[in-house]
Structure 1
Amino acid sequence: MSALNFLAPRPFSHPETWEGIEYKWKFLVFRPAYFQHEGYVLAAVALYLVLFFVGKSLNEKKASSWFTAHKSLLEANFSKPASGGLIQDGYSDFFAFSSGRRNVASLHAIFTLRPRHDPFQLIMQTGYAAFDLQYRPLDDLQLDFLLPASIPADFVWALVHKDELRGIKKGRWDLTFTRTTENPALPGYLSVMSEYADITENMFKLPAGQALLKVLEDPAIKPYFRSLSITDQPRDRPSTVAEFEDRQKHVILSLVAPPASSASVDEPLVKAVFALIDQLSRVALRPETKNKLRTVRADVSKEIKKEEAEKLAEESNVEDKKAAKRRAEEERIARLPAAEQQKILERERKRSFKKAQSRVTGRK
C-alpha cells in the first residue's frame, strides 16, 4: 500500500486565521481563493455561451433579413410563396420553399451559413483555409428552381465566377458535361461552362439573357455571385440507369449570402433569373446540336448500365462463393462421425439461440 501513497490526496489543513476574502452565512463559509481554477472554467463556459448566442443570432438575422427583403418578390411570382415561412435546421441551415408559378414547379431557397454559433468550428475553418488556399468558407445561398418537364432545357450550361472554377466540378457531376471557355460578352470575372457553343449563343440572344449580362456587370453584384447553371443532370453521379433516366431540369443560382445590411442587393439578379426561365422555351438549338446532346446522354446511359451490370455480376459472384463455401462445409460435416456431427449441430443451435435472444433484446 505504501507504493500507492502518492495517489492519496493531501490532508486539508484549515488555517487558524484567514486574511483573504470570505463570505459567511450561518454555518456556511465561502472563500473564493480556494476556487480559482473553477472560476477560470466558469469564465470559459460563460464566454462560449456568449459566443454561441451571438453567432446564432447573427446567422438567424442574416437569413431572416434576406427572406424579408425578398418576400414581396416571392409573393409576386408564386401563388404559395415560402409556404411555412423560413424553416431553421440547426443554427446555420435555413430553408424556404415556394411553389405555384408558370414555368417553375418549385423554388428551394437554401442557406448554408458559417457555424458562427460554434467558435471551435470557426477556428478549424479558418485554420484549414490558411492551409488550403483553394478552400474558402463562405455563407452559401442557393436558389434551386425546379423546372416543369415541358421546358426544353435538355442541356447543361453555366456562368461561373472564376474564383469558383477550380472546385466547382468536384462538387457538381452535371458540370463535367461542359467545357470552360471565355466569352467577350461576359464581365471579366466570369467564365461560361457549356456543352456546345450553340447553347451559349442562343442564351445570349435572348432578351432576358442580355438583361442578365447587364445585371452581372453591376459592381454591387460581383462580390455575391458564384454561379448560375441550367442543367438536366443530377448534381451527383447516378449509380443506376433508372436514376439517370429519371432526371429533372433545374436552374440553380448560387450566391454568397449578403449581410443583413445589404439583404436586397441581389434582388435585380433574382428578377433577371425569373425572366430568363420564362424565355427558355425560346431557345432554338440547331438540329446537329440536339443530336449531339442526345448522343452524349445515350453514351453516359450505356456506361452506367455497364457499371450496373458489372456490379450485379460481382455481387452474384460473391453470393455464389458463399453458397459454394456452405456446400463444402456441409459435405465436410457429412463425412464426420455421428458424434462429431451431433456436437457441431449443438453448437449451431446454441449460436442461433443467442442471435435470436440478442435480436429480441435489441427490439426492447
Structure 2
Amino acid sequence: MASLLVPPPYSLPDHYDGWQLSWKFLVFRPAILRVQACLLLALLVYAGLSLYGKTANARKADRFYSVVLPLFSQQFSKPTSGLVSDGPSDFFVFSTGRRAISSLHTVLALRPRHDLLQFIWQYLWSAYDLRYEPFDALTFDFTLGSDAAAATPDFIWAVMRKSELTVIRDQRWDLQTFTRTANHPGLDSTLSVMSEFADVTETLVKLAPSRDSTPLLTLISSALPYLRVFSITDQPEERPSASALATKSKRVILTFDLPDDAQGVNRILPLLEGTFALVDLLATGRVTFRPETRAKIRKIREDVEKTVKEEEEKEKREEVLEDRRSAKRKAEEERFAKLGAADQKKALERERKRALKKSQGKLVRKV
C-alpha cells in the first residue's frame, strides 16, 4: 500500500540541451520544471487578484462610511461601532443611543471580488438565469425602541424595484404573507407598492417626514437608481416559530445598491435622513388608520398566528409518530436478529405473503 502512495523516483534525461545552472554537485534545469512553474505562476496570479479584490472591497466600504459618518454622528449619541469587517466582503456598523430607535444595523454585503472563481460563477449564473443579479448590497435595518413600537400601529408597507418582486417575495416571509402588489401614480414606473390595505398606503403617502416637508414618496424616488427596497414591518423577515411571533419587533429596512462613489452615496442620504424623521413621526402616535383597517390587520395577524401554531403542532405530531415508527422498526429488527436461521426464513415468508395479500386487496378495491 505504501509503495502505491509514494511516487516513483524521477530520472534525469540523458540528453539535456536547455539552459541550466550548476554549482559543484548541484544542478538546476528550469526546462524540467515547466508544469510546476505554470502552477506557481497561477497561484501567484490568484493570490494577487484575491488581495486586489479584498482591497477594492475595503476601499468601497471606507468610502461609504466616510460619507455617512457625519449623519450618524449627528443622529446618535453613540454614533457607531466603527466600520467592522467580517471577512473580505462583509462589513457592518452598529449604531445606538437615539430616541425612538433601539439600534441601527448597517450591513454591506459586497461581491466576492477576493474569490476569482466565485466571482466568475456569479457572472456565468447571471447570464444563465436572468433573474439572478449579483450586486453590492447596502442595508439599513432600523429597530424601533419599545415606546416607539408601542405607539406605531401594526402594519406592513413597502416600496420596491419591480425587478426585485420575485426575489423579495421568496426572501421576505412578511411581504409574501401579508401584502399585495400595486402601482402608484406618485412613484417612478420602475417601483411598486406592497401594502396590506389601500388605507395604509393613502396614510403613508401623505407623510412629509423631512425637515423641508418633502413627501415620503419624493424621498423614495430621489434614491433611484440605487434603491431596491424600502419597507416598514411589524413581522419577521423569515417564517417564525409560534413563540417568536409573540416577541416580534417593528423595523424600517432599506436596501440599496452600494454606490460606486461618494456622489452616489450622497444621492441616498436624503432618504436615509428622512427615515430618521419618519421613525420620530411614528413614535408620536400620529400615524393612525381607520378603525376598520386596524380591525382587519389585527384579524389577519390572529389568523396567521393560529395557522403557524397549527402547523407547528402538526409537525410535532408527525415527528412523534415517526419516532414511534422508528422505535417499532428497531425493536422488530432486534427481535428478528435474535431468531435462528429457520425462524428468520419463516418470518420473511410470512412478511412476503402479508405484503402480497395487501397488494391484491388494493388491486381488487381499485377495480
- TM norm. shorter chain > 0.5: yes
State the partner residue of 1:156: 156
Secondary structure in structure 2 of the residue aligned to 1:24: strand
Unmatched runs of 5 consecutive residues or more in structure 1? 338-364
State the partner residue of 1:23: 21
- Could you tell me which amino acid in structure 1 is paired with residue 43 of structure 2? V
Return the alpha-carbon distance in structure 1 between the equivalents of residues 336 and 116 of structure 2.
62
Instruction: Report 1:287-326 matches (<5 A).
Output: 287-322=291-326
Return the alpha-carbon distance in structure 1 between the equivalents of residues 17 and 58 of structure 2.
50
Query: 1:72 and 1:317, CA in 2 relative to 1: closer, same or farther beyond 3 A?
Result: same
- Could you tell me which amino acid in structure 1 is paired with residue 114 of structure 2? H
Task: Report the alpha carbon displacement of residue 165 of structure 1 after superposing the two structures with TM.
Answer: 1.4
Return the alpha-carbon distance in structure 2 between the equivalents of residues 187 and 114 of structure 1.
28
Secondary structure in structure 1 of the residue aligned to 2:255: strand
Task: Report the alpha carbon displacement of residue 21 of structure 1 after superposing the two structures with TM.
Answer: 2.7
Query: 1:287 and 1:321, CA in 2 relative to 1: closer, same or farther beyond 3 A?
Result: same
- Could you tell me which amino acid in structure 1 is paired with residue 299 of structure 2? T
Query: 1:44 and 1:286, CA in 2 relative to 1: closer, same or farther beyond 3 A?
Result: same
Return the alpha-carbon distance in structure 2 between the equivalents of residues 110 and 259 of structure 1.
16
Task: Report the alpha carbon displacement of residue 30 of structure 1 after superposing the two structures with TM.
Answer: 2.0
Return the alpha-carbon distance in structure 2 between the equivalents of residues 28 and 45 of structure 1.
27
Return the alpha-carbon distance in structure 1 between the equivalents of residues 337 and 54 of structure 2.
65
Count matched residues.
Answer: 325
State the partner residue of 2:30: 32
Corresponding residue to 1:233 among 232, 235, 256 = 235
Query: 1:100 and 1:261, CA in 2 relative to 1: closer, same or farther beyond 3 A?
Result: closer
Task: Report the alpha carbon displacement of residue 331 of structure 1 after superposing the two structures with TM.
Answer: 8.4
Task: Report the alpha carbon displacement of residue 8 of structure 1 after superposing the two structures with TM.
Answer: 6.5
Instruction: Report 1:46-61 matches (<5 A).
Output: 46-61=44-59
Return the alpha-carbon distance in structure 1 between the equivalents of residues 26 and 47 of structure 2.
30
Instruction: Report 1:1-364 matches (<5 A).
Output: 11-15=11-15, 20-83=18-81, 85-148=82-145, 149-176=149-176, 177-208=178-209, 210-218=214-222, 221-238=223-240, 240-262=241-263, 263-280=265-282, 281-322=285-326
- Could you tell me which amino acid in structure 2 is paired with residue 264 of structure 1? N
Secondary structure in structure 2 of the residue aligned to 1:101: coil
Once superposed, which parts of structure 1, at least 4 consecutive aligned residues long, lie more than 6 Å away?
A: 7-10, 326-334
Return the alpha-carbon distance in structure 2 between the equivalents of residues 78 and 306 of structure 1.
43
- Could you tell me which amino acid in structure 1 is paired with residue 53 of structure 2? G
CA deviations over 1:31-60 (Å, ceiling 9, x no partner)? 222222222111111110110011000111
Return the alpha-carbon distance in structure 1 between the equivalents of residues 334 and 134 of structure 2.
59
Q: Does structure 1 retain, via aligned residues, the 8 Å contact 2:106–2:138?
A: yes
Q: Does structure 2 retain, via aligned residues, the 8 Å contact 1:98–1:107?
A: yes
CA deviations over 1:204-228 (Å, ceiling 9, x no partner)? 111228533223343xx31211010
Percent sequence identity over aligned pairs: 43
Secondary structure in structure 1 of the residue aligned to 2:253: strand
Q: Does structure 2 retain, via aligned residues, the 8 Å contact 1:61–1:260?
A: no
Return the alpha-carbon distance in structure 1 between the equivalents of residues 62 and 89 of structure 2.
12
Return the alpha-carbon distance in structure 1 between the equivalents of residues 20 and 221 of structure 2.
68
Task: Report the alpha carbon displacement of residue 261 of structure 1 after superposing the two structures with TM.
Answer: 4.4
Secondary structure in structure 1 of the residue aligned to 2:288: coil
Return the alpha-carbon distance in structure 2 between the equivalents of residues 36 and 305 of structure 1.
66
Return the alpha-carbon distance in structure 2 between the equivalents of residues 159 and 142 of structure 1.
15
Return the alpha-carbon distance in structure 1 between the equivalents of residues 218 and 8 of structure 2.
78
CA deviations over 1:158-199 (Å, ceiling 9, x no partner)? 011112112210000000110111111112221110000111
Return the alpha-carbon distance in structure 2 between the equivalents of residues 256 and 151 of structure 1.
32
Q: Does structure 2 retain, via aligned residues, the 8 Å contact 1:171–1:235?
A: yes
State the partner residue of 1:362: none
Q: Does structure 1 retain, via aligned residues, the 8 Å contact 2:153–2:288?
A: no
Secondary structure in structure 2 of the residue aligned to 1:208: coil
CA deviations over 1:33-91 (Å, ceiling 9, x no partner)? 222222211111111011001100011111121111111110111111112x1111111
Secondary structure in structure 1 of the residue aligned to 2:27: strand
Return the alpha-carbon distance in structure 1 between the equivalents of residues 142 and 196 of structure 2.
21
TM-score normalised by the chain length of structure 1: 0.82
Q: Does structure 1 retain, via aligned residues, the 8 Å contact 2:161–2:192?
A: yes
Task: Report the alpha carbon displacement of residue 150 of structure 1 after superposing the two structures with TM.
Answer: 2.3
Q: Does structure 1 retain, via aligned residues, the 8 Å contact 2:21–2:29?
A: yes
Q: Does structure 2 retain, via aligned residues, the 8 Å contact 1:153–1:231?
A: no
TM-score normalised by the chain length of structure 2: 0.82
CA deviations over 1:114-134 (Å, ceiling 9, x no partner)? 000001001100000000000
Q: Does structure 2 retain, via aligned residues, the 8 Å contact 1:153–1:249?
A: no
- Could you tell me which amino acid in structure 2 is paired with residue 120 of structure 1? L
Q: Does structure 2 retain, via aligned residues, the 8 Å contact 1:66–1:264?
A: no
- Could you tell me which amino acid in structure 1 is paired with residue 287 of structure 2? V
